[in-house]
A = this chain, B = another copy of it.
């Protein structure tokens, strides 16, 4: 079999499309952001990507119907300067080879669709709960810095220290070196301990500004508030226990 199989369902004419990649990763921040954009913009599916670089697995929906694990690309004619393509999926490629191969195939398809710019979305693990997550950036070219900074993206020196591992890094790297595409990675801060809508919210806010999208953030803000309440509750419980221990300590 082909190592990667693309089932392309639609062949729309897109105007200077921009590709946004949001696969599962740290805090699932990139995936949550990308799926939110697909839902809110009512994007249509362009293609499914099946591959032996993904787990040999089907999911089963509530009706009992199987769904082979996949990556999928959605599109939207925005009526603005740039049409949109968004990549989401159940998994990233599970091997080093798979990371490169899947990224390359997606970029090849993107190049055929005249994509010349790629945003990759990801999480940046802080290891603790963050009140107001920053969006860290990395770019293929310094001339992209100003526009991103104006939209709230920060570029702290030495962060992330180890660079970017996985799809969000490889798509930018191969895009730049092999496909002459520019691009930027947007990394929303997250504790990394659970699927985190707060980092995703900040990324979507940045993309809304950068791309001039009509995007209602209300649902993502609501989900962020719910997560905040849960984590605050957990922290209170922990503190209660700690102070209880302290109290008991006096009698210990």
Residue of B48, B57, B63 touching A170 (CB-CB under 8 A): B57
Tell me the interface secondary structure of chain A in the complex.
mixed
For residue A174, which residues in chain B have a CB less than 8 angstroms away from its CB?
1, 50, 68
For residue A165, which residues in chain B have a CB less than 8 angstroms away from its CB?
55-57
Known: A178-B5, A178-B50. A163 touches B66 (CB 8 A): yes
Q: A1-B105, A63-B142, A63-B145 are in contact. List 16 more A-B contacts (CB 8 A).
A: A1-B100, A50-B174, A51-B100, A55-B96, A56-B166, A56-B170, A57-B173, A58-B138, A58-B163, A59-B163, A60-B160, A65-B138, A65-B142, A66-B173, A67-B173, A95-B96
Residue of B7, B100, B164, B178 touching A177 (CB-CB under 8 A): B7
Kindly identify, within residues 150 to 179 of chain A, every residue whose CB is under 8 Å from any CB belonging to chain B. 155, 157-158, 160, 162-167, 169-170, 172-174, 176-178
Pairwise interchain contact B58-A137, C-beta atoms closer than 8 A: no
Q: Mark A115-157, 1 if CB is under 8 A from B, else 0.
A: 0000000000000000000000111111001000000000101
23 A-B pairs in the complex with CB atoms less than 8 angstroms apart: A1-B100, A1-B104, A1-B178, A50-B174, A52-B100, A52-B101, A55-B96, A56-B96, A56-B103, A57-B163, A57-B169, A57-B170, A57-B173, A58-B138, A58-B163, A63-B142, A64-B137, A65-B139, A65-B142, A66-B139, A66-B172, A68-B173, A95-B96
Known: A52-B100, A100-B52, A177-B48. A66 touches B140 (CB 8 A): yes
For residue A247, which residues in chain B have a CB less than 8 angstroms away from its CB?
none
Residue of B100, B105, B162 touching A56 (CB-CB under 8 A): B100
The answer for the CA separation of A104 and B52 in the assembled complex, in Å, is: 10
For residue A214, which residues in chain B have a CB less than 8 angstroms away from its CB?
none
Kindly identify, within residues 55 to 108 of chain A, every residue whose CB is under 8 Å from any CB belonging to chain B. 55-60, 62-69, 93-97, 99-101, 103-105
**A206 interface contact, C-beta 8 A:** no
Known: A96-B52, A176-B68. A157 touches B1 (CB 8 A): no
CB nearest to A48 among chain B residues:
B177
